[in-house]
Each structure stands twice: as C-alpha cells, then as structure tokens.
Amino acid sequence: MNLCKSIYAAVVLAALTACGGGGGSTAPVSASSSAALAQICAAQNPWVGDATAKTTVGTLADERNWIKAYMNERYLWYKDIPVLDSNNARYNLSSNGLLNTIDSVKNYFNDSRTPLKTASGSWVDKFSFVEDTASWNNFVQSSQLGYGVMVKVGSSLVGRVITVSYVYPASPASPAMRLGIQRGDQIISVDGVSVTDNTVNGIAVLNEALFPNQATSHTLVFSRAGTTFTRMVTPEKVQLQQAEFKVLSTPGAPGTSVVKLGYLLFNNHVPDAEAKLVEAMSAFTAQGVNNLVVDLRYNGGGYLSIANALAASVGGSARANGKTFEMTRFSDKRSAENYAMPFSMIGLGNQVYPSLNLSKIYVLVTGSTCSASESFINGLRGIDVEVELIGNTTCGKPYGFYPQDNCGLTYAAMELEGVNAKGAGGYSDGMAPQCVANDDLSQPLGDPAEGMLSVVLKRLQGLSCNQATGVALGATSLAGMSLRDTSLVLRPEWQNNKVLQISR
C-alpha cells in the first residue's frame, strides 16, 4: 500500500498528526547490534538501490532484526517497546503472490512504537516514521514532483474541503503558477471524483492526483468566488522556495512613530531555505526593522541548526552568545550523549546570519506548525525574547531524531527530547497562542488585510488580543469563519519533524 495513500486516508477521515525521525548510535558493534545487521536487505525490497551504503542480499527477517536492534539502541521510549511476534502476518505480507517487504517492515516498525498516551489522551509517540530514502532526500532538497502548491484539508456541513493554501514561488514557473491557480481556490473534484468521496476507489483517485508519483496529467475542477473552472495539470519536478519576506510600514500605538515591520514567511527548515533567510534578515537589518512577524503557519519543521541560527539572528548576539538554544536529552542508556546546543548564527550550510537584536517578535502559528518551528519559539523564550503567538495551537512535537537509512528506507525513531535554556519544554499537546486567529485563505499571505497578519498590525497599534482578534474576525474577509481553525496542511506526516545533523 502506498504510504501517501494511507496517510491521506488518515488525514481526511480523522486528523493529521505530526511525526519525526532517528539516527547515530554510539553502541559498540556486536553481532546483534544495528551496525552489524545494517544493509542486509530482502531480495524483494524495491528500494534497495537507493541505500546510502553497500548492501548484501538477505531476507525480510534480516530487515526486521535490524529494526529491532535499532529501536532498542536508539528509541527514546525503548523500555516501552511491545514484544512482537515476527511470525505475525502483518510483518510477512504478500501482494499478488510476492513478498511485500515495504509494508511488512513499516508495520513492524510502527508496531514497535510505545503504546503510552499523554495526559490529554493522544499518543506519546505519534511522530516516528519510515519513508523511502529517495522521498526523504527530495524533501531535504526542497524538490517535489507535483504542481508547486500546498493544500489544506478541513470539513464543512457538506463534507471534506480541500483548498489551495499556498502557491510556491518557483523558477521556472510551476504548473500551478502557469495555470493561474491561486491561494483560496477550492478543489471540487479530481479526475471526475468529488473530494468528498470516501470510498476506497475514490480515495485512491484523490491520492493519485494530490500525491503524484509519476508525471501523469490530471483534471482538477476548482471553485473561486462562486465560479468553477477546470484545469488539466501535469506534475513536474519543482524546486520549492521555502521563504519570502517584505517590510511593511504601519501605524504604531497612539503617540508613537510609524512601525517598520519585517514579515518573514518560512515554510520548511531545509538547506535550500537558508540563502533566502539570510537575505531576509540582512534586509531587515539594513532597513532598520524594529518589529518582526515570522509566519510559521505551514512550517512542519526540519533541521534544528537552521532554527537555531534564525533564533540567534532574531535575539541578537548580546542575548544569544554563550546561551543554550536547546538541551537535547536522550534515553537513560544514552545519557552520556545529552548535550547543550549553543546558540549560533552560523547555519546548516555555514552561512552567517546577521544580528537583529529584538526583544519581542510575533509568530503566526497553526496546528501545522511543528517540531523545529516550535524549537525556534521555545529557544527564544529561553533567552527572554518575548514571543507572542497568533493563530491556533501548534502541533506539539518536542522530539527529534537523526535520519538513518537501511536498505533504501529512511527510519526516524524519536530518540531525544529538547528543552530550552530555562529547562522548559514538554509541549507535547502544543503551544497555545496568546491571540486566537484563523488562517484567512481569502487574502494573500503577507497582505495587511489577511486575518492573522492583521491581528499583528492591531497589536502594534496598542489593541489587546481580544480587541485585535475581534477586529480580524469581524472583517469582511473572515465572515463566516469559525473561531478555531481545524483545517491542516495536507502533506505526508513524516514531513513534520526536527532533524539533527549526524555530526555535532
């Protein structure tokens, strides 16, 4: 079964959860260690050619044995791993008479996760994942086979609602840009199948188009301002730009001067984002920006080093130097590996971020704000930078991992928990906003009239959260929207993560 299809079914029929990933062990090499068992691959594994190290031919049992050793060595909740029967049919699946290695090992890995739940009743580990290494590498490189859009899924009285939430800037132009698809366009049907279709065949058709695996054309029917239109779209390999920025001049509180507000939209903590982040922070510094809003409403996370550098840039050298951005805590058997990640203005790609020196910022958040994005917020709060959240409660993922390939599959077992310089963390049920506001899909991102950004502008004018959100929720652009936005970005769960570098 295709992973994207299973994820999509879970998203549209229940709720999107977040996830993360795993990595480097210091355990001695023994016959039963993951190092000794690595890259011994089942002959039927179709992804073995993408393995990051030399492989040898083995069996499905060899891959399961590696997972067992890997989880025992690295998993944060290793004490709670259930005892699994390797002969269980779930771990020995076949399809059309052939061994289904991929789904077999995914089931084995997923069933190895802790069965514990939080106080609120959610799973303690709703994040660990396994994904083919080729897809993982494409994500890290901001490359995607698709249309160059991000979509959100929600519900209404008539059922499922899927709406374009963002059209990525791209050069050359993406299929969505060429066809004039815009933020706020609602998808009505795909290849003749309504987005409200809950049948097995219907879900399969929707997934084939929304999570394309090949460059096959699809017919999408959209609705915009009460008018329907049809577009034939063909997926392409699109390089996604993950950040945009602008400077807004806006009135301040009565009796104060005009505020120069920097607006930074940031969608993923991946290496390709860094050049634009440095450009943005440099422009803000040069233009004398004295207030900043970081739009993380769609940011599922990524590399912690990038969150660190951006936070250090925001807080400035005087506040950040010599302080801990995040203390990473492993399981008790790996306590010697616990370490304090110091603030650094040098990013993942050795790019130097400028110092903005702000004592307060605004951050736009939703339930799709996850992992490294939450670390950015938590890290700043650890050095007394006031971070005011505007939007909805974040996803709640204080955990991280080192990605680990085995036989062409990247495994991501949560192996550490992060806290800030004050020891604060534990936000597994999410970070609640000070000002509740919804994602306003009727307006472009970065537009002063957009619901969430308009709250920031009202706050800068001296209005309270209640006053500011009351103005936003009463605006024409937000008429009819519920107070709490329950829609979420429709994307594979594993793209919500906090990734650490193998080398510290």
| DSSP per-residue codes, 340-399 | EEE--SB-TTSPBPPP---SEEEEEE-TT--THHHHHHHHHHTTT-EEEEEES------E
Ranges 54-58, 255-259, 417-421, 472-476: which has the least confidence: 472-476
Is residue 494 pLDDT above 80, yes or no? Answer: no
The domain spans of the chain are 3-140, 144-239, 243-395+417-475
Check if the beta carbon of residue 427 is closer than 8 Å to that of residue 442: no
3 state SS of 256: coil
Q: What is the CA radius of gyration of the chain?
A: 23
Instruction: Provide the percentage of residues in the chain whose pLDDT is more than 90.
Output: 66
162-173 pLDDT per residue, tens: 999 999 987 788
Q: Give the pTM.
A: 0.81
* CATH pick for 144-239 out of 2.30.42.10, 3.40.50.20, 3.30.930.10, 2.60.40.10: 2.30.42.10
Confidence band for 493, pLDDT divided at 50, 70 and 90 = low
What is the per-residue pLDDT for 186? 96
DSSP secondary structure, 114-143, as one string? ---B-TTSSBS---BEEEEHHHHHHHHTTE
Identify the CA nearest to 370 among candidates 388, 400, 397: 397
pLDDT recorded at residue 391: 96
Single out the residue of 331, 328, 327, 329 nearest to residue 76, CA to CA. 331
Mean pLDDT of the region 52-72: 97
Count other Cβ atoms within 10 Å, centred on residue 1.
12
Q: How far apart are CA 283 and CA 269, in angstroms?
A: 20
Query: Each residue of 305-355: pLDDT tens digit?
Result: 999 999 999 999 999 999 999 999 999 999 999 999 999 999 988 999 999
C-alpha dihedral sign at 113, 116, 118, 120? positive
What is the structure's pLDDT at 143? 65
Which CATH superfamily groups domain 243-395+417-475? 2-enoyl-CoA Hydratase; Chain A, domain 1 (3.90.226.10)
Look at residue 27 in the predicted model and tell me its pLDDT: 39
Residue 106 in tokens: 């995914």
CA angle (205, 180, 453) in 5-degree steps:
100
Average pLDDT over residues 401-409: 93
CA distances for 401 relative to 149, 260, 410, angstroms: 28, 38, 11
Give the DSSP per-residue string, 72-115: HHH-TTGGGPPP--TTSGGGS-EETTEE-HHHHHHHHHHHTS--
pLDDT of 188 > 60? The answer is: yes
- Say yes or no to pLDDT of 478 above 50: no
Q: Of the ranges 3-7, 64-68, 198-202, 422-426, which one carries the lowest mean pLDDT score? A: 3-7
pLDDT band at 485 (very low <50, low <70, confident <90, very high): low
